[in-house]
């Protein structure tokens, strides 16, 4: 009789169900491998940052400083933003209102060329509001940009370092995924920005910092 060992931080619903039904044996890892310590987690309030103009584009002053520190120590960093492409969402700067699709309740995406806010799932769209429907503020700003925009910003903020992007657009070409991982592993790349792909079980010795950007989907 053969035995199989399945291991995952994010098991499929089917596997998890089988384990719960005692069809599979179940072993839970309660300690991190090699007694690794959990990372220190710091938060930044982007509303305050923007109000006081401390932010560096889409990055908080804290994240910017930590990125500088890591890079100057010859370490690497990963930036996670769960939105690909360029397209920003919009948000009221005063009350944080975000327009949602009435059909799908996901955030609507701003399309500059038609001055409209659009649902990427069902195609619903409406004109870009001039005032906030919740608090009547006129300070409605575009924010929460995609990985492509972040890559561009990182290149401007850290021109001496190399940035690579890992998302659906850059990995659908042949060997795209492998090449990006290889470059990061061998230190050819200093900064890796990407969607949830960068969060799935990657392990790099020289990564000392992970930035997670606001997610309002
Ligand atoms: Zn929709
Ligand atoms: Zn508002």
In the three-class reduction of DSSP (H, G, I as helix; E, B as strand; rest coil), residue 119 is classed as coil
Give the CA angle between residues 60, 50, 109 to the nearest 5°: 90
Residue range(s) defining the domain that contains residue 110: 89-143
Q: Report residues near ion ligand 1: CB below 5 Å.
A: 101, 103-104, 119, 121-122, 124
- Residue 96 CA, ligand 2 centroid: distance in Å: 6
**Nearest bound ligand to CA 123?**
1
Residue 38: inside a domain, yes or no? no
**CATH at 166:** 3.40.50.300
Q: Per-residue pLDDT tens for 90-136?
A: 889 899 999 999 999 888 988 776 788 988 889 999 999 999 999 99
CB 128 within 8 A of CB 108: no
pTM: 0.68
Radius of gyration of the CA atoms of the chain, in A: 20
CB 204 within 8 A of CB 191: no
H helix runs in the chain, sequence order: 13-20, 46-51, 61-72, 147-157, 168-171, 176-185
H helix runs in 52-107, sequence order: 61-72
Please tell me the predicted confidence (pLDDT) of residue 145: 77
152/167 Cα distance (integer angstroms): 14
Please tell me the predicted confidence (pLDDT) of residue 70: 97
Q: Mean pLDDT, to the nearest integer, of 61-65?
A: 97
Residue 155: inside a domain, yes or no? yes
Number of domains making up the chain: 2
For residues 154 and 74, state if they share a domain.
Answer: yes
For residues 177 and 136, state if they share a domain.
Answer: no
Comparing CA positions, the residue from 80, 82, 96 lying closest to residue 47 is: 96
Residue 78: inside a domain, yes or no? yes
């Amino acid at each position: 009789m053969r035995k199989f060992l399945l291991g995952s931080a994010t098991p499929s619903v089917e596997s998890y169900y089988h384990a719960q039904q005692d069809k599979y044996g179940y072993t839970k890892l309660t300690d991190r491998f090699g007694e690794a310590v959990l990372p220190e987690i710091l938060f930044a309030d982007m509303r305050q940052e923007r109000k006081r103009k401390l932010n560096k584009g889409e990055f908080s002053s804290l994240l910017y400083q930590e990125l500088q520190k890591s890079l100057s120590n010859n370490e690497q960093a990963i930036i996670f933003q769960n939105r690909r492409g360029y397209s920003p969402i919009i948000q009221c700067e005063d009350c944080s209102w975000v327009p949602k699709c009435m059909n799908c309740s996901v955030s609507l995406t701003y399309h500059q060329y038609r001055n409209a806010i659009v649902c990427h799932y069902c195609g619903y769209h409406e004109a870009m509001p001039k005032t906030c429907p919740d608090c009547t503020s006129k300070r409605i700003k575009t924010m929460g940009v995609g990985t492509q925009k972040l890559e561009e910003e990182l290149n401007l903020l850290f021109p001496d370092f190399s940035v690579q992007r890992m998302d659906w657009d850059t990995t659908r070409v042949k060997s795209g995924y492998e090449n990006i991982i290889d470059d990061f592993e061998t230190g050819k790349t200093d900064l890796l920005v990407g969607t949830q792909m960068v969060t799935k079980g990657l392990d790099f010795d020289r990564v000392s910092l992970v930035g997670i950007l606001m997610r309002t989907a």
